[in-house]
Structure 1
């Protein structure tokens, strides 16, 4: 079993792992020759199924295993994120699967080049203890420093992960392209803080997990709100895009689209968002939603699919300068009952 790759997009890799770490401490990482998959399935909260093209992160990759050249790992995201942050200004960075004292580790090797009279320090921590070596350029003008960070991991057998699968959801009632996620995060965090402050004063009935109500229609409208006995606040976006369905992706093709729940919902509601009809609504944990929105730091377009009173599925399409294949992060957020 072997895995080694050179990283050409450390910044994106770091932002991705930091975003995922906010939702859960451990990730199932599936390493393949063409795709890298990150999956988080917490006991409570949002599930994430991320499928990344190899070219979006790695320049070169080698994966060898008896299981059709696929390796499954359980990876601590905080340790991986800390290691990657130390590589942000590196000249080059490689990552490989190896063993230390019989324990599987991901070894991240970072090469940096600095002026020979400059001082460079690499902070160590209890989770990632770097091994460093350095050499001066023969001209005396620069110093090359090599640091290796080791992240303990667990190798998972194919049988262990065979039963894991994405949640099954019915066809969405509404699909809509969201405004910038960092804008949504700013507003939802403000709503959540107001709800928590209201609960602490005893004037409201919001529980320790303030619940946001998020709704959308097939006329480009999105609404986010929160309420208690003492307050009711909301924000509404209009003129958003409801993407067209692809007949090749819908059972029954054109006939399937004609009978699709979103097609029926489009007959209801209005573009100004004032009508009470035609809205699909979910109720979600405000703090969990704020963590989900942190993926906005990666950029890209986001399509939200609303299954009324059941679930919200977010598809985050990441931009890539190095690959024609899109990387997609899928978030499954369950709805609370009314």
Structure 2
């Protein structure tokens, strides 16, 4: 099994992993010749927030340097600590070149191989000092190499057909609003309709606060599988989510170009965070890829 490549955009990769670190302690990387799949499950359960991402390989790695070999369709599956990988990538800030490879370290044999060795993602960061001297730093992040059978057991969440889909306002703006609403309640009710209206509400025994956006853009017909809209486009569909779960999704604001939200009444919210170029009018995916967040709803008395 081999994996080696030069990182084409270290800062983008760093922001991507950093945005997932608040969600889960670990991430699964499915490396293919054309795509990188990133999978995170907060708490490791089917009912927790999940991220299923598909990132185009050339937005992360230089394809002319990519070497990817395995006994299973030349795909490599790795489980890695999001926090440790994010810290390692921070050292690549301002680097002239960054390479990454799957290696073995800590063994008794030459180069750390042999008995007692363990797999690592080895990042080789090259930069220059103020005096022009070439500097090289190696960061090793321990990983677990997963088997194909383990990957086959991972399945995306099953959700009902959403009733509403719309483009969200700036995630940075939403993050500010949600942080303030969280001081009112641990739960936030999000309501939206197919007329481009979005409402965020938090309430307690002492207060009720609601924020509204209007004239938001709508995806093209049928986008993201939205095939069952209500007869009345002004009918609001509501989901109540834990505020901390919403903030985990909103941590992706640093990599988002555009975001489409889909709402399944009282069941879940699905957020498609597009990385890189914006989707075009035909619904084609942007050049970077998409992070898909599945956020389960909670049931509270008095929900709309």
Residue 29 of structure 2 corresponds to which residue in structure 1?
A: 29
Matched residue, 1:40 = 40
2:290 corresponds to which residue? Answer: 328
Asked if the contact 1:189/1:287 (under 8 Å) is kept, the reply is no
Which residue of structure 2 lines up, in the alignment, with residue 131 of structure 1? none
Q: Distance in 1 between matches of 2:147 and 2:247?
A: 34
- Are 1:283 and 2:251 counterparts? no
Query: Do structure 1's residue 239 and structure 2's residue 215 form an aligned pair?
Result: yes
Aligned residues: 279
Shift of 1:59: 1.4
1:11 matched to 2:11: yes
Tell me, yes or no, if the aligned pair for 2:40 and 2:52 is still in contact at 8 Å.
yes
Question: Are residue 91 (structure 1) and residue 96 (structure 2) matched?
Answer: yes
Match of 1:261 among 222, 228, 232: 228
In terms of Rg, which structure is larger? 1
Is 2:252 the counterpart of 1:295?
yes
Q: Which residue of 2 aligns with 1:68?
A: 73
Query: Which residue number in structure 1 is paired with residue 133 of structure 2?
Result: 143
Q: What's 2:60 paired with?
A: 57
Could you tell me how far 1:325 is from its partner in structure 2? 3.9
| Compared CA separation, residues 282 and 13, structure 1 to 2 (3 A) | same
Give the drift of 1:246.
4.0
* Deviation per residue, 1:170-197 (Å, 9 max, x gap): 21110010000010000000110233xx
Mapped to 1, the partners of 2:217 and 2:287 lie a distance apart of 23
Shift of 1:302: 0.4
- 8 Å CA contact 2:70–2:76 kept in 1: the answer is yes
Q: Distance in 1 between matches of 2:98 and 2:6?
A: 6
Cα distance 1:320–1:86, how it changes in 2: closer, same or farther (>3 A)?
A: farther
Moved over 2 A (4+): 42-45, 323-326
Counterpart contact for 2:68–2:75, Cα < 8 Å? yes
In the TM superposition, residue 320 of structure 1 has moved relative to its aligned partner by 4.7
Q: What residue is the counterpart of 2:198 in the other structure?
A: 222
Does the 8 Å CA contact 1:56/1:320 hold for their aligned counterparts?
no
Give the secondary-structure state (helix, strand or coil) at the position aligned to 2:78.
strand
Residue 167 of structure 2 is matched in structure 1 by: 177
Deviation sequence 1:269-288 (CA, Å, 0-9, x none): 2xxxxxxxx11111111122
Where structure 2 has 5 or more consecutive residues not aligned to the other structure, the ranges are: 108-116, 279-284
Q: Report the Cα offset of residue 324 of structure 1.
A: 6.4
**TM-score, scaled to structure 1:** 0.79
Is 1:114 matched up with 2:129?
Answer: yes
CA distance in 2 between counterparts of 1:245 and 1:167 reads: 23
The answer to whether the Cα contact below 8 Å between 2:239 and 2:268 also exists between their aligned partners in 1 is: yes
Give the secondary-structure state (helix, strand or coil) at the position aligned to 1:300.
strand
Q: Distance in 1 between matches of 2:267 and 2:34?
A: 34
Query: Is the partner of 1:302 in helix, strand or coil?
Result: strand
Residue 121 (structure 1) aligns with: none
